[in-house]
């Protein structure tokens, strides 16, 4: 579908070259998908295509910030900045979170949690770009037993550590109330 649309746009650009001044922007969620889409376009046409830009969501967000006159942070701070900016734009969220020391961290956490199933299903949808499930796959795990044991022990240790810190935090909160 995408390749057919690009082919139609290329045909239009042949008739009217001024259309090349407004490039077609394809936005994808990851660098690996960006490379895959670019290779698919070149494979289908036999050569590269002028007037087509393939960009990741991260690259698009950086471009928007830079065009707005702000330096684009790199890495995870960009996600925090964009989540906080979107939350501040909503009056109900601003009213409830503005007075808190780090109230917008909750918004960042929620958006980060929403991203988990998106990443999970993108791995399932684009099988050619990712290896199949290693631990929770349909068949026996291909992980070496020693590595699987180390992974299990670390997972249990992290879970117990989290439970300990959570219990201490609840105890501190109760003491602060009294």
Domain hosting 22: range is 1-72
pLDDT confidence of residue 101: 62
* Same structural domain, 110 and 147: no
Domain count across the chain: 3
- Cα–Cα distance, 42 to 50 (Å, whole number): 11
pLDDT confidence of residue 52: 82
* Same structural domain, 78 and 61: no
54 touches 26 (CB < 8 A): yes
The string of DSSP codes covering 13-52 is HHH-GGGGGS-EEEEESSHHHHHHHHHHHHHHHSS--TTE
Torsion angles phi and psi, residue 79, rounded to 5: -60, -45
With a cut of 70, which residues of the chain have pLDDT below it?
Answer: 73-78, 100-102, 128-130, 132
């Amino acid at each position: 579908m995408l390749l057919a649309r690009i082919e139609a746009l290329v045909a239009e650009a042949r008739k009217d070259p001024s259309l090349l001044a407004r490039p077609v922007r394809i936005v994808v969620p990851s660098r690996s998908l960006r490379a895959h889409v670019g290779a698919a376009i070149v494979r289908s046409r036999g050569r590269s295509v002028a007037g087509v830009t393939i960009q990741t969501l991260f690259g698009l967000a950086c471009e928007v910030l830079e065009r707005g006159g702000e330096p684009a942070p790199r890495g995870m701070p960009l996600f925090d900045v964009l989540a906080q900016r979107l939350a501040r734009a909503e009056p109900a969220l601003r009213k409830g979170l503005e007075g808190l020391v780090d109230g917008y961290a909750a918004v960042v956490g929620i958006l980060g949690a929403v991203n988990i199933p998106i990443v999970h299903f993108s791995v399932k949808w684009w099988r050619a770009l990712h290896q199949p499930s290693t631990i929770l796959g349909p068949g026996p795990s291909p992980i070496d037993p020693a590595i699987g044991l180390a992974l299990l022990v670390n997972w249990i240790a992290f879970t117990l550590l989290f439970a300990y810190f959570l219990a201490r935090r609840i105890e501190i909160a109760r003491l602060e109330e009294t």
